[in-house]
Amino acid sequence: MNSKNDYKYFDTACEIGKRLAESGAEAYRVENTVEIILKTFGAHDISVFSIPTLLLIFAKHEKKRLFFSVRIHKTDIDLAEIERMNELSRRMCKSKSFPEISDSDYSYSKVFRLFCAALSTGAFCIYFGGTPLDAVLCSVPALAISLFENNKPFSLGEIAFSFRASLIAGLIACFFEMIIPGCSSNKIMIGAIMLLIPGLSIGNSIRDLLFGDILSGTLSLINAVTGGVSIVGGFAFAIAFFKYAVN
Amino acid sequence: MNRELIEILTSVLGTFAFAVILNAPKNRLLFVTLGGLISGTCLVIFQALLNNTFFSVCAASFITALYSEIFARLIKTPSTVIFIPSSIPLLPGGSLYYTVYNLIYFNKNNFTHYLKETAETGAGIALGVTAVAIIIFSIRSKRNAKTN
């Protein structure tokens, strides 16, 4: 075996860790997965450090020091990618081979995903007390948010994106209430808010904090709170605009 | 139709749709939707029994997280894949919105009420998940200690 192949497992483990972190896996899952792969292939003195924006991996293989660091640009939660990387790491450890990592792809068509965005907001609109008319109208801001998400510029941060998306959803909902009698902008906005709410990251961040991953937990918590404030800000701006400027 | 039944049905529908948006693997959609049914039903039942947002959400979150951990082991998938979409019906969408609404309309009492409810829901979800995580970690470390 040449020396390049000796450390190929390290590159594959780093790639799996990076993809897990980018797809929204918890810090402990990223760290655990990478550590298990490295141990299986004979590395020692392993230390893996994962926070929402950075992944650092150190290890020794015989006398060689191995190091990897990457800036994590979190995109959207991709559950299929988390499962794929998990399965790949299991297979890698079992067969001690280096599988090729192909690019992730959406399992569902774009049209079906847009339909599901409308369906989910409509369902939650009724869940929170809306009428069938509100649920149907709710699909318009949902489609607007989903289309924005699909065409999100890389430079636009998560906070700016949430603010813009909630502002537009809020304006559409208030406009509907103005022109369509019998519909409630409140219920339409509640349905739309469900597409943007970062509730789960609050759960994950508190779990990270309680398990001693202070830095990861704090960063996730700040991220969730600022994300929540930006959503609230967008809707507040839309409501205030229609309350004071239009009416 | 009965209000509770509507809540359960819409939470199942919403969970399924969210699972697609979050790109859940196709062969896991059934388990994820079942998770939505469990979290939605638990929330309705506990709210009727306990009449307290924090404890109802905490109990529903605990049961949903436990379901995710058990089924994740059975079907060999990370528990996150099941838990993230299953817990969507627990999220405080309504109370977060009414917090903003009452802020804009300067309704201090309602603003405080909904802000408290949003915080209680968030804390309830987190506590439920953490309780299950503690149980899982304890079992795992006991098993590791035995094998070593």
- CA distance to A174, A176, A184, A185, per residue, from A181 (Å): 12, 8, 9, 11
Whether pLDDT at A1 is above 50: no
**% of chain A surpassing 90 pLDDT:** 30
Grade residue A202 by pLDDT with cuts at 50, 70 and 90: confident
Residue of A23, A87, A127, A230 to mutate for B, most B C-beta atoms under 10 A: A127
Residue of B18, B75, B111, B129 to mutate for A, most A C-beta atoms under 10 A: B18
Distance CA B146, CA A126 (A): 51
Would you list the domain boundaries of chain A?
3-95, 110-246
Would you list the domain boundaries of chain B?
3-147
**% of chain A surpassing 70 pLDDT:** 90
Say what the pLDDT of residue A153 is.
Answer: 60
First to last CA, chain B: 57
Say what the pLDDT of residue B6 is.
Answer: 92
Distance CA A5, CA A208 (A): 36
Structure-token pair, residue B62: 């605990």
Say whether B21 and A202 touch across the interface (CB within 8 A).
no
Distance CA B68, CA B35 (A): 7
Low-confidence stretches of chain B (pLDDT < 50) are: none
Say whether B14 and A78 touch across the interface (CB within 8 A).
no
Residue type (1 letter), B59: A
Say what the pLDDT of residue A73 is.
Answer: 81
Long-range contacts: A2-6, Cβ < 8 Å, 24+? A6/A61
Grade residue A244 by pLDDT with cuts at 50, 70 and 90: confident
Lookup result for tokens 């789960």? A200
- Whether the complex's predicted ipTM is more than 0.90 is answered with no
Q: How far is CA A227 from the centre of its chain?
A: 12
Instruction: Give the model confidence (pLDDT) of A134-171 as tens digits.
Output: 999 999 999 988 887 766 665 567 788 888 889 999 99
Say what the pLDDT of residue A2 is.
Answer: 47
Third-level CATH fold of A3-95: Pantoate--beta-alanine Ligase; Chain: A,domain 2 (3.30.1300)
Say whether B23 and A199 touch across the interface (CB within 8 A).
no
Say whether A123 and B103 touch across the interface (CB within 8 A).
no
Distance CA B146, CA B139 (A): 11
Q: How far is CA A158 from the centre of its chain?
A: 10
